[in-house]
Structure 1
Amino acid sequence: MVNNHRKDIHLSLSHDQYDDLTSALETHRDGLQQFVKESALGFGLETTYWSHRVAEVQGLLEAVHRLAAGESPDVVKHELQRLSHDSQEHPPS
């Protein structure tokens, strides 16, 4: 999946909002993981596509955790861009 357009989002969240955001990302990741299982049985898109999406959402979740822990937004952004660039050079087959 190639997505060259990026969005920078700067948020200030309450503890409840942070919990809601991370729970939503975990639920989304887990839903995509179910698609991985179903695709292994021959349903839907290829397993590699869904596995790649799971990894993308997991990376986003980890970035949210790192930012909430006080890590530099520039460092996290740079790493996410590097990971995105690497996945574009080596897309799932």
Structure 2
Amino acid sequence: MKLEIVFDEKDKPFQKITLDHSSMLKGSFSKVIYSSLDGNACHGMTFMLGKDYVAFTDESNWITGYCGGTQAIWPNMEFSQEFLNTVKQLSPNK
């Protein structure tokens, strides 16, 4: 994964995330997604290198944020692994 902070025409920062999409579960597999950095968790979140995520995006490849289901997967937390397993079970790309 590659992370970049970029700015829109109004100088608002956002994250450009280039993914290793070898384990994409569903949808059109865009290798680049975007996340707002405006502090509103419903519009985006901060991604970190080395972490696994379930990221839900809209048709423009902007993540839906925590309110839309996007979240980090924490390997040692049972609820996180249960969430990932549920998403995998519902995925058409098994």
Measured against the shorter chain, the TM-score band is under 0.3
Point out the structure with the larger strand share: 2
> With CA pairs under 8 Å and 6+ residues apart, which has the higher RCO, 1 or 2?
1
